[in-house]
Amino acid sequence: MVYQFVETDIAPFLVRAREEGWICGRWEFEFLLEQFPSGCYVRREAGNDLGYVTSVKYGNSGWIGNLLVLPEARRRGIGKGLMELAIEALQERGTKTIWLTASEKGASIYKRLGFVTVDRIQRWVGSGRPGSAASAEAPDLDLVVEMDREGWGDRRDSLLRTTCGRGKVFTNSGGFVCCQSWKTGVQLGPWGSADGTRGEELLDAALVGAGGRVFLDVPAGNQLAGALLAQRGFEVCGDNLLMYRGIEPGYRPQHVFGLASMGSMG
Q: What is the CATH number of the domain that holds 86?
A: 3.40.630.30
Q: Number of folded domains in the chain?
A: 2
Query: Residue 132 pLDDT > 70, yes or no?
Result: no
Examine the domain organization and report whether 249 and 147 are in the same domain: yes
Examine the domain organization and report whether 251 and 132 are in the same domain: yes
Examine the domain organization and report whether 6 and 85 are in the same domain: yes
Examine the domain organization and report whether 90 and 176 are in the same domain: no
Q: Mind listing the pLDDT tens digit for each residue in 26-82?
A: 999 999 999 999 999 999 999 889 999 999 999 999 999 999 999 897 889 999 999
Dihedrals phi, psi of 226, to nearest 5 degrees: -60, -40
Q: Mind listing the pLDDT tens digit for each residue in 170-191?
A: 999 899 999 999 988 999 999 9
- Which pLDDT score is estimated for 67? 97
Examine the domain organization and report whether 135 and 204 are in the same domain: yes
Work out the mean pLDDT of the chain and round it to a whole number.
94
Helices 141-152, 157-166: axis angle to 10 degrees equals 120
Query: Residue 105 pLDDT > 90, yes or no?
Result: no
Query: Does 266 map to a domain?
Result: no
Examine the domain organization and report whether 21 and 83 are in the same domain: yes
Residue 134 pLDDT level (bands cut at 50, 70, 90): low
Query: Does 238 map to a domain?
Result: yes
Query: Does 110 map to a domain?
Result: no
What are 13-22's contacts with CB under 8 Å, separation 24+?
13/49, 13/52, 13/66, 13/68, 16/49, 16/52, 16/68, 16/70, 17/66, 17/68, 20/68, 22/262, 22/263
* CB 194, CB 175: distance < 8 Å: yes
User: CA 9 to CA 42: how far, in whole Å?
Assistant: 8
Query: Does 217 map to a domain?
Result: yes
Examine the domain organization and report whether 251 and 160 are in the same domain: yes
Query: Does 73 map to a domain?
Result: yes
- Which pLDDT score is estimated for 120? 98
Query: Does 111 map to a domain?
Result: no
Q: Which domain holds residue 232?
A: 122-258
- Which pLDDT score is estimated for 139? 75
Query: Does 102 map to a domain?
Result: no
Examine the domain organization and report whether 128 and 251 are in the same domain: yes
- The CATH number assigned to the domain holding 202 equals 3.40.630.90
Query: Does 113 map to a domain?
Result: no
Q: What percent of the chain has pLDDT over 90?
A: 85
- Which pLDDT score is estimated for 133? 62
Examine the domain organization and report whether 53 and 171 are in the same domain: no
Query: Residue 90 pLDDT > 90, yes or no?
Result: yes
Q: From residue 63, how far is each of 66, 197, 243 by CA, in Å?
A: 10, 30, 10
Examine the domain organization and report whether 141 and 238 are in the same domain: yes
